[in-house]
Amino acid sequence: MTLKASLFSNLKDKHLPCRIAGCPNTWTFTGEEQIGWMREGHDHPPARMCPSCFAKFNQFEDITLPCAKEGCENTWVWTRAAQTHAAGRGRTQPPKDHLCDTCRKTARQIESLDVPCRIKGCQGTWVWHAQDRLLADSGAGTAEPPPRMCDACYTRFQSLQDKPIPCRVKGCHNTWPWTRHMQLEAAARGFDTPPKRMCATCATRLATFTEQPMPCRISGCENSWRLTPLAQLEAAIAGTDIAPRMCDAHYQQWTQLADRTVKCRIAGCTHTWTWTRGAQLHDQGRKLGPPRRLCDLCNDAIKALSPIELPCRNEGCTHTWTYTPEMQLASLRKGFDANTHPRRMCRDCERFLTEAHTQDLTCEKCGCDILWTKKHQLHVHLGQWEKPTLCTDCRRGND
C-alpha cells in the first residue's frame, strides 16, 4: 500500500453546513466521498443540502413566472433550488422584482446612480441600482428615483423611536409625536431638541379662532394691537380673560423708558419706591409726574399703625383732631418718640380761622381803631375771651 493510499484510508466522515442559507443543519461528507472528490482534483468540499432541505428540494417543481418589468411579456423560471433557499428564510412566495434574462441583460447596460438622501440636511447618498431603475422606467426614460435614506441615516433610523413631546400651548397637557423621521431631519440640521408644536387637538381648535384687533391698554390711546389665535386658545384653555396690552407705538415708547426711583412721601424717610416704565407711559398724556407714594418699608410699617384721636390744642375747644398713621410714621422717621404726640388744632378751629377775616373795631371811648385778629376771634368763639370794646390805651386808663 502506498503512502497516499494509506492517508486516504484514514479519512473520517465530516459534518458540513447545509448550503441553504439560514438552515442550521449539516450533511455528512463521508471519507469515501472525500477520497473520490480529491481524486477528481478538488481542494474544497462541495456545497450540498442537508437531508431535510434535500427532501424539500425534491418536493418542489420549477415554476415559470412573468417578468417583473412592466410591459415585458417574457418569463423567468423560479427553480427548485431557489424555492428551497426561499423556504429556508421562511418565504413561500416568489420575489416580485425578478427580471427575465432579456431584461437582466438590459439592466447590465444601465448605470447605477448615486441619489441624495431623502433626509433634509443630510449630505449622504444611496445607490439606485440598475435593476431598480429598469423596473421604475415605464418606457419614456423619465423615471424619478424614489425617496430613500442613505445607509447611515437608515441605520440610525432603526435605532430611534417615536417620542411623545408636550404640546406648546400653555395649559395643555397633551402631546404630539416626534417621529423618527423628524428626529433624523433635526439631527441633520444640527438640532438635538424637538421643535415647539401643538397637539392635534389644539391645532384643530386653533383653526376656529381668527386674529382680533384689541384696544391699547394706555388710557386715551385710540390705537389697537392684534390678538393672535394662539393667545385666544391659551386663554380659552386656562379659562382666563385676555390680558390688556399696549399698541405697537406705545410698546416702542415703553422700551425706550427706564424705571425710576422716587423719594418716599413720608417726611424724614430716606428710602425710595420704583416708578415703573408702564406707569410713566400712562402719565405721558397727563403730565402729572410721579405720584406721592410710600416706599416698601413705610408701606409695611404703616399697616401696624392706627389713627389716634387727640384733643384740640385750643383751650375751650372740645373737639379732636386725627393723628393719622402717616403723621405718626413721619414723626418716627424724624426721630420723635412714639409716645410724644404733637399739639394741633381740630378741623373746626382750622375752618374758623380760614373763613374768618381780620376786622377793625372802633373803641367806644376814644373812637380809635382796634385790630381784631382771626386768632382773637377764635378765642372769643371758644368762650375764652370777650369781644373787645376799648382800645389798649383806654383799657389801661380804666385800670
The predicted structure's pLDDT at residue 1: 41
Q: Are residues 86 and 154 in the same domain?
A: no
Summarize the confidence of residues 1-13 as an average pLDDT.
Answer: 58
Flag whether pLDDT at 9 surpasses 70. Answer: no
Query: Would 23 be classed as within a structural domain?
Result: yes
Q: Let me know whether 96 and 128 are in one domain.
A: no
Report yes or no on 255 lying in a domain.
yes
pLDDT, tens digit (0-9, with 9 covering 90-100), for 312-363: 999 999 999 999 999 999 998 888 887 888 999 999 999 999 999 999 999 8
Q: Could you read off the pLDDT of 20-40 as tens digits, one per residue? A: 888 889 999 988 888 888 888
Phi, psi of 395 (to 5 degrees): -65, -40
Written as nine digits, the cell of 248 is: 405697537
Q: Is residue 322 a part of any domain in this protein?
A: yes
Statement to judge: residues 155 and 236 lie in one domain? no
Are 235 and 287 found together in one domain? yes
- Same-domain pairing of 179 and 140: yes
**Do residue 252 and residue 181 come from a single domain?**
no
Let me know how long the chain is.
399
Point out the domain boundary residue: 107, 127, 145: 107
Residues 223-269: pLDDT tens digits? 999 999 999 999 999 999 999 999 999 999 899 999 999 999 999 89
What pLDDT does 70 receive?
A: 86
Residues of the chain with pLDDT > 70: what percent? Answer: 96
Domain match, 116 and 199 both: yes
Whether residue 313 contacts residue 344, with contact meaning beta carbons closer than 8 Å, is answered with: yes
Position 297 in a domain: no
pLDDT computed for residue 218 by the predictor: 86
User: What pTM, to 2 d.p., does this model score?
Assistant: 0.51
Q: Say whether both 101 and 113 belong to one domain.
A: no
Domain membership of residue 279 as a residue range: 212-291
Please state the three-class secondary structure of the chain as a single string.
CCHHHHHHHCCCCEEEECCCCCCCCEEEECHHHHHHHHHCCCCCCCCCCCHHHHHHHHHCCCEEEECCCCCCCCEEEECHHHHHHHHHCCCCCCCCCCCCHHHHHHHHCCCCEEEECCCCCCCCEEEECHHHHHHHCCCCCCCCCCCCCCHHHHHHHHHCCCEEEECCCCCCCCEEEECHHHHHHHHHCCCCCCCCCCCHHHHHHHCCCCCEEEECCCCCCCCEEEECHHHHHHHHHHCCCCCCCCCHHHHHHHHHCCCEEEECCCCCCCCEEEECHHHHHHHCCCCCCCCCCCCHHHHHHHCCCCCEEEECCCCCCCCEEEECHHHHHHHHHCCCCCCCCCCCCCHHHHHHHHHCCCEEEECCCCCCEEEECHHHHHHHHCCCCCCCCCCHHHHHHHC
Same domain, 253 and 243: yes
Residue 197 pLDDT > 50: yes
**How many folded domains does the chain comprise?**
6
Shared domain check, 179 and 135:
yes
Same-domain pairing of 193 and 179? yes
How much is the mean pLDDT over the chain? 90
Cβ–Cβ < 8 Å for 268, 334: yes
Q: Is residue 170 part of a domain?
A: yes
Query: What is the predicted pLDDT for the residue at 37?
Result: 87
Q: Would you say 78 and 62 are in contact if contact means Cβ atoms under 8 Å apart?
A: yes
At 239, the amino acid letter reads: G
In a domain, 300, yes or no: no
Instruction: Give domain status of residue 298, yes or no.
Output: no
Residue ending a domain, choose from 82, 107, 132: 107
Over residues 107-127, the pLDDT tens digits come to 998 899 999 999 999 999 999
CB count within 10 Å of CB 132 equals 19
Interior angle at CA 278, CA 275 and CA 281, nearest 5 = 95
Boundary-marking domain end, from 26, 41, 58:
58
The pLDDT tens digits for 135-145 are 888 665 578 89
| Residue 20 CA: distances (Å) to CA of 48, 50, 76, 87, 367 | 8, 8, 21, 9, 150
Phi, psi of 113 (to 5 degrees): -120, 145
Q: Distance between CA atoms of 390 and 119, rounded to whole angstroms?
A: 114
